[in-house]
């Protein structure tokens, strides 16, 4: 693995990244390439590395050795509060079989 200068690329490894406003998420194979990618960004701009993502774009992110779980519970709770439905009663809604 060799860290290359901008534009960032690697001949043998893969880095995926997404940018939204002032947030950047990245993942790489192998994981060491992600560190190299972050170091390259830090050499160009003053950035903060907040470690593994736990929350982004209203989505909570939890991970263990084998899974990644995404949840929008905080968004749902906010929406329920916004529309004053905190005390609303839940009900089952039956679906048509085979639909």
**pLDDT tens-digit series, residues 13-72:** 788 888 888 888 888 888 888 888 888 888 888 988 888 888 887 889 998 888 989 999
Using the structure block, give the residue that is written with the tokens 């534009």: 7
Query: Of residues 82 and 32, which shows the higher confidence score?
Result: 82
pLDDT band at residue 81 under the 50/70/90 scheme? very high
Handedness of CA 45, 50, 54, 59 (dihedral sign): negative
């Amino acid at each position: 693995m060799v860290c290359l200068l901008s534009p960032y690329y690697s001949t043998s490894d893969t880095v995926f990244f997404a940018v939204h406003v002032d947030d950047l998420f990245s993942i790489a194979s192998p994981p060491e390439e992600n560190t190299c990618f972050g170091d390259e960004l830090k050499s160009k701009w003053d950035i903060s590395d907040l470690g593994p993502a736990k929350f982004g774009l209203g989505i909570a992110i939890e991970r263990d050795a084998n899974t990644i779980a995404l949840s929008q519970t905080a968004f749902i709770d906010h929406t329920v509060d916004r529309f004053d439905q905190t005390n609303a009663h839940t009900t089952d809604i039956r679906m048509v079989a085979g639909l």
